[in-house]
Amino acid sequence: MKFFVDTADVAEIRALAESGMVDGVTTNPSLIAKSGRKMSEVIAEICAITEGPVSAEVTATDFAGMLAEGKYLRDIAANVAVKVPLTEAGLRTCRALSNEGTPVNVTLCFSAAQALLAAKAGAAFISPFVGRLDDIAHDGMTLIGDIVQIYRNYPGIKTEVLVASVRHPIHLVQSAKLGAHVATLPPSVIRQLLKHPLTDSGLSAFLADWAKTGQSIL
């Protein structure tokens, strides 16, 4: 399973990339706004950190506007994946850009039917939002399972399931068990994956025993 980091914080991306935990990056207008910087500058800097796909999202809502913004964003760097919403205009944009060889991440997916449409439009990635479904008392993992099953039924579908709106490590583990291709995680959730009380207590015991020897490795 590939791990994307869901942030526009360049320092966080660089730190996680150095640990080998970043296969790509996803951003959105809200995350870019938090950075307080120009979108093109942020995306260019992120693309220089990771070789994996970096999702840069359009903000227009009409087809012509999305297409123009998508072409602008893809020219920032070779590893940009243009991100579009799952609307009719978004799918038209996805088809147009995909036909030109540009990878497209179709976002804000909340149903298996929507995911099937995105695949037919040529999306490189479909981003179902599990946390937001959980927020309204729907099981986000059921959606992931449905999409993975449908895509597997049709070998011609090359769209990767990119699990988004991940709130905690259980979302990640369940997605991996279901066979999702990618999960995009906030930096805080990636760091939660490292934590286990038995790891901490075991390390403390090892270090305490070593200290009693009075030795130094170097």
What is the rounded CA–CA span in Å between residue 35 and residue 176? 30
What is the rounded CA–CA span in Å between residue 176 and residue 2? 10
> Which phi and psi (to 5°) does residue 64 adopt?
-60, -45
Does residue 83 carry a catalytic annotation?
A: yes
Residue 137 near residue 160, CB atoms below 8 Å: no
Q: Which amino acid is at 1?
A: M
104 CA to centre of own chain: 12
Q: Which amino acid is at 203?
A: L
CA distances from 121 to 57, 93, 124, 131, 152 (A): 17, 9, 9, 25, 17
Annotated active-site residue in 2, 34, 38, 83: 83
What is the rounded CA–CA span in Å between residue 19 and residue 205? 25
Q: Give the residue numbers marked as catalytic.
A: 83
